Every structure is written in C-alpha cells, then in structure tokens.
C-alpha cells in the first residue's frame, strides 16, 4: 500500500484516527478531514510520526463546497485518491423521534447523509478518472435494525447502506470497490458524549451486546483497512457488521 493516498473524514478522533494510524503504518499518505482543527492536526502529527505524509483540511461536510475543497486539496497535494473512508457523522440528541426539533433532524441528516453523499460524488469523479479505487462508508447497527432514540441517525445509516449497494452496482465494472461497515457501540468520543447525555439508555445498550462489552476503535480499524487495502477485492457492495453479536440476535 506504500505511496497510496487516502481521504479520511471524521479523522480527528475515534474510528477516523484509528484508521489513519493503521494506514500510516502501511505507508499510506492521507488527508485528514475534520471540523475540529485541533483534533485533525493531532491526527496528522501521529501519522507523520509513523513516516507517512498527511495534510489536514478543515471541513463541515454538510457544505458541498467544503467537501469539494477537501477533494481538490487532496489531488493538489498528492495527485490522486486511492482510498476513501467516508466516516464523518454525529449521533443526534438521543430522544424519541417526536421529541426532536426540526433543527435537530436537519443537522443529523445534513452531516450524516448529505455529507456522505457529497463526499462520494466528488471522490468518485477523481477515482473514475484515475481508473478506480476503494471506499468504505460508516453505517451502523442502527442502519440494519431499529433502535430507540436514534431515529434521524438510523435513517441516515440506512441511507448509507442503500448508497453503498447502489454505487457497487453502478461502478464495480469501472474499478470501484465500495463497502460499508456497521459498527455496534464502540468506544469513541461520540459514544462518550451520547453516554453522558443518556446514561439510562446506555445501560440498556451495553446489556444488549452478547459479548457484554463495547467495541474498540482499533478493532473497527482492522476491518476498514482490510476492506480498503486490496486484500478483499471481491467483496463489493457488502455491509459488514462489527458489533459483538448484537445484530445476530
């Protein structure tokens, strides 16, 4: 994978940072995209410590022009895009759906779904021009089964599943490999924030995982890198759960 180039959105922490570090260990250069400049630049520092090259691009992925900018900045810096981890997202307010405000619904939809779709559009334009590439989208167990208090989030993650399958059907013959992961509850800053807002709900979440523990970012990163790095070329349009057995029940 040495000298290949990846874009990682939501790369400032959690799953995005774990994937950036694992790719860097394999010599992959990366663009780290995040709304937090401090977090994103820290990931860049960690990547560069491992000997890979990295740039940071600040972006609100709900803004199409900012998404196009992180793609353009990547091509300008590295000349191509080989891999795309389409990961940026938020959890939402953690309330039953009718209790959500319109503003809360719009925020989750614009970041989690529109932002992912914008990224796919602009990255695909580059990959198709250059002969192909590999993409992993972050869905969720909430994109596979119904879960309480995450209505808007669940809608976006079901949408991620749909666009993953559609793009595989449309572009596989042109060298595009695209899959989605569906993590269960994983130890990330986003999950920590949700736990603090909804401690009682979170106890139920933990009790519902057959392995009786949360996933770790590094475990999810192993799966993402496997799907990105060319070792899984015949896996295309798949949605892979990584959830301690939660969706097997």
Return d(Cα 197, Cα 44) in angstroms, integer. Answer: 30
25 to 13, 97, 172, 218: CA distances (angstroms): 17, 42, 28, 13
Give every CB contact of residue 39 below 8 A, 6+ residues apart in sequence: 12, 13, 17
Residue 118 among the catalytic residues: no
> DSSP characters for the chain?
-TT-EEEEETTTSHHHHHHHHHHHHTT-EEEEEES-HHHHHHHHHHHHHTT--EEEEE--TTSHHHHHHHHHHHHHHHS---EEEE--------S-GGGS-HHHHHHHIIIIIIHHHHHHHHHHHHHHHHT-EEEEEE--GGGTS--TT-HHHHHHHHHHHHHHHHHHHHHGGGTEEEEEEEE-SEESHHHHHHHHH-HHHHHHHHHT-TTSS-EEHHHHHHHHHHHHSSTTTT--S-EEEESTTGGG-
Nearest CA to 111 among 146, 145, 143, 152? 152
What integer pLDDT is reported at residue 59 of this predicted model?
Answer: 98
Dist. CA 153–CA 137, nearest whole Å: 15
Catalytic residue among 122, 153, 171, 194: 153
Instruction: Tell me what pLDDT residue 204 has.
Output: 78
pLDDT at 144 (0 to 100)? 97
Would you say residue 57 has pLDDT above 80? yes
Q: Report the predicted TM-score, pTM, of the whole model to 2 decimal places.
A: 0.95
Give the mean model confidence (pLDDT) for residues 167-188. Answer: 96
Report how many domains make up the chain. 1
43 φ/ψ angles, rounded to the nearest 5 degrees: -65, -40
Checking if the pLDDT of 1 tops 70, the result is no
What CATH number does the domain containing 15 carry? 3.40.50.720
Residue 226 lies in domain: 5-248
Residue 80 and residue 216: Cα distance in Å, rounded?
31
How far is Cα 58 from Cα 190, in angstroms, rounded to an integer?
A: 18
Q: What is the pLDDT of residue 104?
A: 98
Quickly state the pLDDT bin for 230 (edges 50, 70, 90): confident
Is pLDDT at 67 greater than 70 in this prediction?
yes
């Amino acid at each position: 994978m040495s000298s290949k180039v990846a874009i990682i959105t939501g790369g400032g922490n959690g799953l995005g940072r774990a994937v950036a570090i694992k790719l860097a260990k394999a010599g992959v250069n990366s663009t780290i995209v995040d709304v937090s400049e401090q977090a994103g630049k820290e990931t860049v520092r960690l990547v560069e410590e491992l000997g890979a090259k990295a740039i940071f691009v600040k972006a609100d992925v709900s803004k199409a022009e900012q998404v196009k900018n992180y793609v353009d900045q990547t091509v300008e810096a590295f000349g191509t895009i080989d891999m795309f981890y389409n990961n940026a997202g938020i959890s939402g307010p953690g309330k039953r759906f009718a209790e959500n405000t319109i503003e809360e619904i719009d925020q989750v939809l614009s970041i989690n779904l529109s932002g992912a779709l914008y990224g796919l559009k602009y990255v695909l334009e580059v990959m198709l021009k250059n002969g192909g590439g590999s993409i992993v989208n972050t869905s969720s167990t909430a994109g596979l089964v119904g879960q309480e208090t995450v209505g808007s989030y669940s809608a976006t993650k079901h949408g991620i599943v749909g666009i993953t399958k559609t793009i595989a059907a449309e572009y596989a013959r042109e060298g595009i490999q695209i899959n989605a992961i569906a993590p269960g509850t994983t130890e990330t800053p986003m999950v920590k924030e949700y736990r603090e807002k909804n401690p009682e709900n979170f106890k139920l979440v933990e009790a519902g995982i057959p392995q009786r523990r949360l996933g770790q970012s590094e475990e999810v990163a192993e799966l993402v890198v496997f799907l990105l790095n060319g070792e899984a070329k015949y896996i295309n349009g798949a949605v892979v759960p990584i959830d301690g057995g939660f969706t097997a029940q």
